[in-house]
């Protein structure tokens, strides 16, 4: 879907974004800044804890944010078939993700700063998911078929767009990372009936209030 620029600068994100810590800056700039950052794994206790932490908003105008965005892309490109990555997966608990856009010609990789899902359809699809940070784990999960997303770019410009299909699944998966939600834990909660079961074939509310 085509993204729609909103002509107001996203001031709210600036106010909520806290300055990067010295530890975060050190991780972002370690080694060659043109190369990939290591991807955190749940098999390491300290890295696992970082993956479980809730991320805070990023300042899109901070030069270190631009370095992080670039290195996250290199990290994703270094994987074998990865289609998305979130900042916690490279050790930084900030709201930044990369997603492969299968809904666009050429399936480009795109970054998103402070992404928020502001609406999602009741209609869900069931499909397989794995995770770059969880070795040898793959399972089936329900995800909303359509979402509305808001985010900013490195200039602070805010955008809103509707995304559907497999790309919407990737967005939901990566944004879960920003809240410390891992699919392995999600599956355990489903087994314990902590998640409400949703009929994947129920009528969607896509058209409600959207005429």
Let me know: does 29 contact 67? Beta carbons within 8 Å.
yes
Q: Is 174 tagged catalytic? A: yes
Which residues have C-beta within 8 Å of that of residue 202, sequence separation ≥ 6?
122, 123
d(CA 44, CA 34): 25
Looking at 150, 174, 188, 190, which residue is catalytic?
Answer: 174
Buried b (16+ CB within 10 A) or exposed e, 27-45: bbeeeeeeebbebbebeee
What does each C-alpha distance from 46 to 4, 35, 41, 43, 52 come to in angstroms?
Answer: 39, 23, 9, 9, 10
Phi and psi, residue 84, nearest 5°: -170, 155
Active-site amino acid positions? 174
């Amino acid at each position: 879907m085509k993204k729609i620029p909103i002509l107001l600068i996203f001031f709210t994100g600036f106010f909520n974004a806290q300055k990067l810590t010295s530890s975060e800056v050190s991780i972002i700039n370690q080694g060659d800044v043109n190369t990939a950052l290591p991807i955190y794994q749940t098999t390491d206790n300290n890295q696992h804890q970082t993956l479980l932490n809730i991320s805070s908003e990023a300042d899109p105008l901070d030069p270190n944010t631009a370095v992080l965005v670039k290195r996250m892309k290199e990290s994703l490109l270094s994987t074998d078939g990865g289609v998305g990555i979130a900042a916690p997966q490279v050790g930084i608990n900030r709201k930044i993700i990369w997603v492969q856009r299968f809904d666009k010609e050429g399936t480009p990789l795109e970054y998103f700063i402070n992404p928020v899902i502001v609406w999602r359809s009741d209609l869900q699809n069931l499909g397989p998911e794995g995770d770059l940070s969880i070795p040898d784990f793959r399972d089936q999960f329900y995800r909303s078929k359509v979402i509305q997303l808001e985010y900013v770019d490195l200039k602070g410009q805010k955008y809103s767009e509707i995304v559907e299909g497999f790309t919407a699944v990737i967005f939901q998966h990566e944004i879960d990372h920003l809240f410390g939600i891992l699919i392995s834990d999600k599956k355990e909660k489903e087994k314990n009936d902590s998640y409400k079961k949703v009929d994947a074939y129920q009528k969607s509310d896509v058209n409600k209030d959207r005429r």
